[in-house]
Every structure is written in C-alpha cells, then in structure tokens.
Chain A
Amino acid sequence: SYELTQPPSVSVSPGQTARITCSADALPRQYAYWYQQKPGQAPTVVIYKDSERPSGIPERFSGSTSGTTATLTISGVQAEDEADYYCQSADNSGTYWAFGGGTKLTVL
C-alpha cells in the first residue's frame, strides 16, 4: 500500500511560522493536497496541486514540494489555525489515493 508520513504534532506560538511536512514516494510525480479539519467538521482544502491556494484561503497558507517531501507552511499563525492537517496524493500509478496520518497543529 502507498503511505504518506507526517509528524503527529506541531506546536507554535501565535505569529510564528508553522511548517508541516509530508513524505511519500510518489510526490515527485503526483500533486500534493493539504486539508484542514477542525473538530466536528469535514476536511477542507487549503492547498491543491502542491502550491495553489483556493479562493477564500488566507495568504498565510502556502505549499511547496521538493523531491519526495511536501511542506505546508502557515506564516503568522493565528489561534483559528489550530486544527488537524492532512496531506494527500495519488500513488505513482495514479489509481490509488492515500492520506497522511494527520498533524495536530497546536497554537500555544
């Protein structure tokens, strides 16, 4: 099976920069997506196609990829950004989709 690896947790103080990484073999060939999930809510896309930001998502959210690692960066973290974040991509064949285990972002 195809796996994506994220750190279980990241903690930052308000106004600092949070970086969440995601490692997976297919990332050089497949787009990375990032989802934010708050308690009791469905996930929502914050980054698509590695680095694109949907309308309505604040500019402090950005994404990048390098080799087999994708990174979600949140600059100037705010209390409202506290949530679980999941990365996702397809495998090399493009026929199987998987999510990372999720990273809990805590705003201190």
Chain B
Amino acid sequence: AQRVTQPEKLLSVFKGAPVELKCNYSYSGSPELFWYVQYSRQRLQLLLRHISRESIKGFTADLNKGETSFHLKKPFAQEEDSAMYYCALNAGGTSYGKLTFGQGTILTVHP
C-alpha cells in the first residue's frame, strides 16, 4: 500500500525567507506526485505535479526517487503563500485518478 508523510504540521517563515515543505512517500511502483494547496476561504486545488516540472507561483518540487521525497520549495516566501499544503500520490493502474494524501502542512508567512 502507498503512504504519504508530511512531517511538519505547522511551518512558519518570514516574508522573503526560503521555504521548504517536506513530503516523503512509500510506494513500490513508479508514482505520480502532486502538491495541492488550500488558501483561506478557497477550495483545495492543484498546485503542481512532478511530471510537468514547472514552477507555479514560484514553487518547485523535484521527485527524488532515491530518497522517496517530493519536497516543495520556494526561494522567497510571500504572505499570500500562507495556506494548507497537501502532498499527494497517484499509484496509477486501475486506481488511476485516486490519490493518497499526506497529513498536510499549514504554512504561515509572517510580514
């Protein structure tokens, strides 16, 4: 069975500081990894996926299969980045589309 672990429930940084939200996964196959974000009073939405290797709102995430990690990084945090962030894994196959989510990390960016 697959599992996603986000070790930090809360993360606080100051505006302009670098931020890294950790995500580790366990899965025997070749997973697809995603980051979802939930801003205050907004719906949970997709932030980025590892396959696209794109930068969204300044965030990037690299899949490290050796360390089974998919950490989310931003070099200079902004106050509007404050939100709940979830790492998610898609095991594929007949479960394609079904996601396993981590516990979530609440990021607070202080002015």
Chains A and B are bound partners: no
Binding site for A on B (CB under 8 A): none
Binding site for B on A (CB under 8 A): none
